[in-house]
Structure 1
Amino acid sequence: MKTQVAIIGGGPSGLLLSQLLGTRGIDSVVLERRTKAHVLSRIRAGVLERGLVALLEEAGCADRLHAEGMPHDGTLISYGDEIFRIDFAALTGTAVKVYGQTEVTRDLYAARERAGGQIVFSVEDVQIHGADTETPNVTYSTDDTQQRIDCDFIAGCDGFHGVSRRSIPPGARREFEKVYPFGWLGIMSETPPVNDELIYANSERGFALCSMRNDTLSRYYIQCALSDSPDDWTDAAFWDELKRRIPTAQADRLVTGPSIEKSIAPLRSFVTEPMRFGRLFLCGDAAHIVPPTGAKGLNLAASDVHYLYTALRRFYGTGSPDGLDGYSDRALARVWKAERFSWWFSSLLHRYPDQTAFDHRIQVAELEFLRSNAAAQQAMAENYVGLPY
């Protein structure tokens, strides 16, 4: 098999890249280790920056997003019983959209299928060959049959545990990592959200987040120990703890119910440099991970897709390699700004095991400064809705 761009990973970043390239007549093949049903079963955050919304519009995949997504003009931040709002629309002239990542992926699959795009599921033993040559190829197996794709370029969109990053020799890359000493216990429930906008809560008992997928489906999180298991938490215990961490007015109107999904996610910051090795380009979690605070993971993957799609479009349109040569530097400049924001927001809201009374007072002072200072709110709002590409 031969294609112009071999894309490893059939999640939202790989599918979005494939769909965008297809709108420009650039051929691609997507390889996915799992089945389509498995990919669509994964629960992920659903706050979409303006840049990602624009990319989905360009890809022809935004109709359902605009029909069913929930525009959010701001967010609430609480500490103790104090609560204040950051007005994104007033501060930046734009908003974010709440629309589940699973639904984004579903829309992208539908678009690729309508366009006759090639997606190969349940692939095994994926290997990248000749990435540092002008004739790279990817081999894999399906049903115990070895297959090969010859291509011009390879896009590694296969996540942190995928083969793409590991195919770059250790001496040719450098990795940066911060592991946080806590996790997020999250539940999904078929209950109306406690508020029509997200609530990020700092409490003496730890962080909490009140989020949603739609008007009847809510997503809630609380900070927990890394040693915890979802089985350690009954639904009743979760709801009781959440109520203790959000302001009384919100706790009193919280509607509880059985969880339909419960999981614990560890928090980490991770970046690999560079994001290119020859004709192999890394996108999304294959190159970087951010804490979920502020919902930058999918959005950061989208900015990578923007830079790579733009570079490939220029290469195939004009023959110029300049965009490809500058891909890693452009992507990483935005990656590190998003890493900074996620680190700052996490540090503002969570309780750390080694925090002192002084550290707690500093957190409160930072929150009160954010509450009262227009410039601080402006900076937060610009980062939250998404820095420009």
Structure 2
Amino acid sequence: MMMICGGGDIAVVDCDDDDDETTPAAFLRRIETPCAYTAMRCEFMNNNGEKGTVAIERIDFHAKRVFASLSEEKRTGCLFENHWQKCRDALEKVTRTAFLKRQNAGFKKGRYMATIAIEDDRDEKKMNVHALLTPLITTRKDEKKGDEEVTALDRYALLRGAPRERPHAKHTEWVKKREGLEIERNEWNAREDVKETRRKRTFVECVLSKRTTGSGSALQEEDFQICEGLTTNVFVLKRDDAHSNGGSRGGLILQTAPDADVLLGVARRAILDAFPSSKNDSEEDENCKDAKIRLSLTHPLWSERETWIALFTVNCVVGAKLYHGIVNSYTGEEVNFPPLPIIKESGVEGREKGLSFLFRTAFSSSSQKSSFPFDLFE
């Protein structure tokens, strides 16, 4: 862990190697003072034996969000002077210093997660910053047990938990509060044991929701408004039934909860920016008329689950995770999604599958000018 402080500046004063095996969640939970934090994906590159270089992905978005999560006193104090770019410089310096200090300790080139927390209870001239570097495993090879191949687990989401009280503040207090939901998720996983280490499915994320009364014919029935995950933003891809019969549009709707109710995630922002409009269903936009997938910043509703064809979560570190299904822990109901197409292009090695293919096809065949962040779907 690094402890960083300085009078009106950010300077590294210590960097220990004792926490290499610490998970990011455990690292953040043990910080006693309140901290605004972020987790950035970085790439460490070795340049022909010279000192390695570090590329930090989407650092501007991270800096803006951390800056917004700090207290007003910290944002307006002389350390940042109400200027998010200074926060960006601090994040960059902390991350690069961590890599350089550990480069001689056997760091290998590849992708890492830099988890950085800025204490929020110091005066404006002094601050502690904590940092942890974690290697990212980008691929998972099928394990084998003797001559028998272990089947890959089916990834499921669990509808469980109420929305966060402060959705726009990325603060360590939420890391501690969400622990109870993580324990419940693990208990659901324990129920899924089939034999020995095999499972039918594994729950990898809890999806938070608002419980509400339904509308129309379901007026007396309880409904659930999907908000976000414990560490992710949630997207639902559904059929555009309202425009498929006689309407001017068909296609699909990519739906995610509105800004007011969720953390404004860095990866979420990248996806939203790729669309020509972020307006809600009640507003029309000329740029969206020919879109094969249109964006809707409204809560996905459990009562509309029959129109869902895919659900995925996204954050800036691990990218997008597509789910085989979701289970409502309150009602016991389950939604399973069919596999998305796997395409092998002629003359091109490898295959493109799932969400990456679906979005690439939709964006290349529409009149949209923006480039979709396909790196999130690798």
What TM-score does the superposition give when structure 2 sets the normalisation length?
A: 0.26
Name the structure with the higher helix share: 1
- If asked which structure has higher relative contact order (CA below 8 Å, sep 6+), I would say 1
What TM-score does the superposition give when structure 1 sets the normalisation length?
A: 0.25
